[in-house]
Structure 1
Amino acid sequence: MRYVFILLFLYTASLSADINSIKGTELDKYEVNEIEDIKAKKAMQKWLNRDFGLKPHKINYLLPFGYKEGAYKSYVPTDEYRNVEAELQVSLKLYLGTGLFGLNESYYLAYSHRAFWQIYSESSPFRETNYNPEGFIEFPVSDKDTLFNMKSIKLGLAHTSNGQGDNANVVYATPADNPGNRSRSLNYMYSEFAFQYDTLLTEFRLISPFPGTADDKDNPDIMDYLGYTSVKLNYFTGRHMFTFMGRGNFTTGYGAVEATYSYPLIDNAYFFMKVFSGYGESLIDYDNHVTKFSVGFSFSR
């Protein structure tokens, strides 16, 4: 059944990739132009177009095969996770408006959902799921006179968690059965600066936990592993796209690197592969070193 789900997901994505031609065909089935109620006509047209303002935020992908070096840590004795799994991410943003301060700035809400799926295990559990709602403001910058060629500044507030509970005080048959606190979360602020040099786009990000939350009991040392700074390079050559991300904490020496490659197969559907090495691949493993190769498809870049 799980393989049928993946095939249906890929088939649906391939159909949505050619949505422009589908729209015209679908609208031809309905008599919209003859409707006299202008407000109802507009609402109906928007519904038929599936136009609700949602756009891709981070990369949207389905990676049926991900291979990790070594076994995943199990937090429950009955869980025996394989080092091969699937991974998927859905990430969307909603544009809210522009120019509240007269600086041509734009306002957005966004949500990203990332899941690690032990699809090759017998019961196919989701090993870990991370949730990441956020809101941000993006200020355009027209810098053509300096070497940096800055294009935008983004300021955001975000939360990320894995939705797990704290079972430390729950009574189990034996102490070994108690998984302890599997809850992971972080509230943080960030600022991001975007630069361009020809087909190379660079994003430099600074991250800071909300005051009073850095020592959260769920993961008091999480910033030691995630770090406060990150740099991401996005490079285009022909139809190919390469990215490289590095982040870390200069004090502790912990961090991570990630490289991706994508190539269009059809409109809005891409061959996608990713290599990750370091800490913080997922929230549950924020303090475990993971080296992993994943391959599959993305539906945005």
Structure 2
Amino acid sequence: MPPSVRHTFPALAFLAACSAASAGDTPTLEHCAAIGPAADRLACYDKLAGRAPSAPVPLAADEPKPSTSLLAPKDAAAAPAQAAVSGTSGSGSLLSKYWELDPEDKRGTFNFTGYRPNYVMPLHYTSRINRSPMSPTQAVVSLPAYRQVEAKFQLSLRTKVAQDLLIDNADVWLAFTQQAMWQIWNGADSKPFRNTDYEPELIYMVPVPKGLRELPGGVTWRFGQVALAHQSNGQSDPLSRSWNRVYFGTGFERGNWTLTARYNHRLDEGPDTDNNPDLQHFRGRGELALAWSAGPATTTLQWRSSFNNTKRGNLQLEWSYPVFSDQPNGLRWFVQGFSGYGETLTDYNFKQNSFGAGVSFMQF
């Protein structure tokens, strides 16, 4: 037998044996078609076609599972929820957000923002008009027959000029406030400005250390402050009214309530330059302001008093509400009521009741 034939027979025998061995395990087409469950029938066809399913490779114990967030469907409710979370970032303290007391509320220097309420009240009614202003050192002046209905507006800005000065998180602020009474409904007298007051301030704010903040009743002591302020009506004698003072203040909060207190120490002036030596006897030496911010509305009640004569001083109530519900920090309806002495510097020793309505803008 030729060598090639001798080598061919063993090879054919080996292939036949392999074929016979595998024939018992390979299903036929008829066998697959007779299987009931669809998944088992599909597996049979795959095996018949030589496509054995591959087993999944198990992950290592310390290997993280692949993220499916990119493939997950977008949740329409997630956007508002995320926006709400972003909107509550910071310390959560009303006074800290206003004065940037805590590190998470800091916004840097020279960012101008609102200070006192910025408002325009086209309708402002006063019970009395001071047509003969005077003071112990100034002569009586006769003013025109101003109308009791006028407009009142206030512009008030502030900016931080130094951060973390001398004490951790203590800041220095500059502020300026201008308040005006405008006889806009008095066309007979060419709509003059009845009074305008100007007040620049330099304020040093010191946050209360965390170990001293918590007080009984859930009250938090937030800050102390010392400031230098000048206020003037910008007039010449005998209508000139002005004073310089150093004031010391502090602030507390509990939930949606805040309480601020301030004591004014007037800097002495000579008798030749003091336009209103008895100003604090009428307007008061101290101030208390209670504010409530519940929902979109805000309400502030301010009391000024010398604390030794309850018949003097003044009381002021302010209320605001958003004009557009989706813009609470935008334009707001604004209402103000006043009773007592010193609504303006010219009227520091003149008592009146007033009420005004309009809009406020540029919140802090």
Give the TM-score normalised by structure 1. 0.75
- Please tell me whether residue 110 in structure 1 is matched to residue 175 in structure 2: yes
Q: Which amino acid aligns with 2:195?
A: E
Deviations, residues 124-169 of structure 1 (Å, cap 9, x unaligned): 0000000001100111123443124211111100000001111xxx
Q: Distance in 1 between matches of 2:239 and 2:270?
A: 17
CA distance in 1, matches of 2:274, 2:112: 35
CA distance in 2, matches of 1:214, 1:188: 16
What is the CA-CA distance between 1:71 and the residue it aligns to?
A: 3.3
Which runs of 4 or more aligned residues in structure 1 lie more than 4 Å from their structure 2 counterparts after TM superposition? 74-78, 213-216
CA apart distance, 1:192: 1.2
Q: Distance in 2 between matches of 1:213 and 1:291?
A: 33
Aligned runs of 1:215-234 on 2, under 5 Å?
Answer: 217-234=274-291
The Cα shift of 1:78 comes to 5.9
Structure 2 residue aligned with 1:137:
204
Conserved in 2, the CA contact under 8 Å of 1:186 and 1:213? no
Find out whether 1:158 has 2:229 as its counterpart: yes
Amino acid at match of 1:109: L
Equivalence for 1:244? 301
CA change 1:221–1:261 in 2 (3 A) is same
CA shift in 2, pair 1:152/1:52, >3 Å: closer
Q: Aligned letter for 2:173?
A: Y
Partner of 2:352: 290
Is this contact kept in 2: 1:215–1:221, CA < 8 A?
no
Q: Is residue 113–residue 362 contact of structure 2 (8 Å, CA) maintained in 1?
A: no
**Equivalent residue of 2:215, what SS?**
coil
Specify the code of the residue in structure 2 equivalent to 1:164: Q
Task: Give the distance between the partners of 2:356 and 2:199, measured in 1 at CA.
Answer: 21
Aligned with 1:264 (options 322, 335, 339): 322
Distance in 1 between residues matched to 2:228 and 2:112, nearest whole Å = 19
Instruction: Please say if 1:98 is aligned against 2:160.
Output: no
Q: Which has the higher helix share?
A: 2
1:215 CA drift (Å): 9.0
Instruction: Give the whole-Å Cα distance in 2 for the aligned partners of 1:134 and 1:214.
Output: 24
CA distance in 2 between partners of 1:140 and 1:220 (Å): 34
In the alignment, which of 176, 200, 215 is matched to residue 146 of structure 1?
Answer: 215
Q: Quick check: 1:127 aligned with 2:184?
A: no
Distance 1:99 1:71 in 2: 47
Q: Which amino acid aligns with 2:355?
A: F
Which region of structure 1 is more displaced relative to structure 2, 134-143 or 188-197? Answer: 134-143
| Equivalent-residue separation in structure 1 for 2:202 and 2:251 (angstroms) | 18
1:29-108 → structure 2 map (5 Å cutoff) = 53-74=111-132, 77=142, 79-108=144-173
* Counterpart AA for 2:347: D
Q: The residue matched to 1:149 in structure 2 has which SS?
A: strand
Q: Which amino acid aligns with 2:346?
A: I
- Structure 1 letter corresponding to 2:198: Y
RMSD in angstroms over aligned alpha carbons? 1.9
How many angstroms apart in 1 are the aligned matches of 2:143 and 2:302?
35
The CA deviation at 1:214 is 9.2
- 8 A Cα contact 1:233 1:244, kept in partner: yes
Contact 2:131 2:144 (C-alpha < 8 Å) held by counterparts: no
CA 1:92 to 1:198, structure 2 compared with 1: closer, same or farther past 3 Å? same
What is the TM-score with the length of structure 2 in the denominator? 0.62
1:237, distance to aligned residue in structure 2 (A): 1.4
Distance 1:215 1:227, change over 3 A: farther
* Partner SS state of residue 291, structure 2: strand
Hey, what does 1:204 align to over in structure 2?
261
Residue 213 of structure 1: CA displacement? 6.1
**Is the CA contact (8 Å cut-off) linking 1:256 and 1:278 kept in structure 2?**
yes
Structure 1 residue identity aligned to 2:261: F
AA at the equivalent of 1:56: G
**Residues 78 and 101 of structure 1: CA distance in aligned 2, closer, same or farther (over 3 Å):** closer
Identity among equivalent pairs (%): 32
Q: Secondary structure of the residue that 2:349 maps to in structure 1?
A: coil
Write the letter of the residue equivalent to 2:233: N
Match of 1:190 among 241, 244, 247: 247
- Aligned AA (1:277): S
Aligned to 1:40: none
Unaligned runs of 5+ in 2: 1-108, 134-140
Which letter maps to 2:334?
F
Number of residue pairs aligned between Structure 1 and Structure 2: 237
Contact 1:139-1:152 within 8 A present in 2 as well: yes
C-alpha separation in 2, matches of 1:277 and 1:189 = 25
Aligned to 1:3: none
Distance between the aligned counterparts of 2:129 and 2:199, measured in 1? 26
